Structure 1
Amino acid sequence: MIQARIQARAPGAPPPPTVLHGAARDPATEAPRAVVAGIGFRHATLPEEIVALVAEGLRQADLAGARLAAIATAADRAGDPAIRAAAETLGVPLVAVDVEALREAGRRVVTRSVRIEALRGVGSLAEAAALAAAGPDARLVLPRIASAGATCALAASGDALPS
């Protein structure tokens, strides 16, 4: 279930990230989610690099025309201005995935980074975030790709999976 933090914000400020605690399905409809981009990034990464990497991921997965439902990252990084600006530029919500959900989804990642595994307990932050945000039936439609400062993976579930 996705739970949103509700807080006052300044006019024009991006909305706060959604915080994921468990399955990523809308409890009202139980509808499958569309494509979710999981993002890992270094502190100095610019939002333009993240946006370009998401676009490249969609292109590589032959999903350039697909509807991106959200971008997802670790909860402790979701407040970073770069990821918030990237989500705003892409016009999608930012899902902040908590440690438990990352580790649960981390069992299904296909890429392994020794550094990220030591830091986060998952082989790929991007893949785990995408899988967690897309829900328990999600599968990767694009394993992790990388730029100089970011990683991106794409996941979808149910009917949202491309044929």
Structure 2
Amino acid sequence: MRVAGIGFRRAATVASLRDAVERAGGGAELLATAASKAEAPAARELAAELGLRLCGLDRAVLEVEETLTHSARVAERFGAGSVAEAAALAAAGPGARLLGPRVVSGDGLATAAIAIGRDE
């Protein structure tokens, strides 16, 4: 399974999120983010636009994932160095790996990372 993990600021738009996912490589079968962000209108709109399920993950799930990048501010708030990377890995399941580090949208308001499951 190919999962797009997303992280974003409150001001992010659907265009911000779409741009980040596209820059990360796209082609996801599932969107994932922190549980507190899963209800954001922009995230829900993107999931609907792409025809994907949006998975919100609790801090306890995110904080056990090893991320390639690290933000102290994000770690303090969400327990993971990168919400996008941790969400992608957690949702893709045990043995998942990132295709690369998170990427940032052109407007700087969103990040995305793609993880693939162990079977890919």
Instruction: Name the structure 2 match of 1:15.
Output: none
Distance 2:19 2:41 in 1: 16
Paired positions, count: 118
Matched, 1:50 2:10: no
Match of 2:7 among 40, 44, 47: 40
Distance 1:127 1:97 in 2: 12
Residues 78 and 96 in structure 1, CA contact (< 8 A), matched pair in contact too: yes
Q: How does 1:127-142 map to 2 (within 5 A)?
A: 127-142=85-100
- Structure of larger gyration radius: 1
Matched, 1:126 2:93: no
Matched, 1:109 2:76: no
1:159 to partner: Cα distance:
2.4
Question: Deviations 1:78-135 (Å, cap 9, x if unpaired)?
Answer: 0110000011111111011111111122xx1110112111222211111000000000
Q: Where does structure 2 lack aligned partners over 5 or more consecutive residues? A: none
1:143 to partner: Cα distance:
1.2
Instruction: Name the structure 2 match of 1:98.
Output: 58
Distance 2:81 2:63 in 1: 9
Distance 2:46 2:90 in 1: 19
How does the TM-score come out when normalised to structure 2?
Answer: 0.92
Question: Deviations 1:130-160 (Å, cap 9, x if unpaired)?
Answer: 0000001101112111121001111011222
1:55 to partner: Cα distance:
1.2
Higher relative contact order (CA 8 A, sep 6+): 2
RMSD of Structure 2 on Structure 1 (CA): 1.2
Residues 38 and 72 in structure 1, CA contact (< 8 A), matched pair in contact too: yes
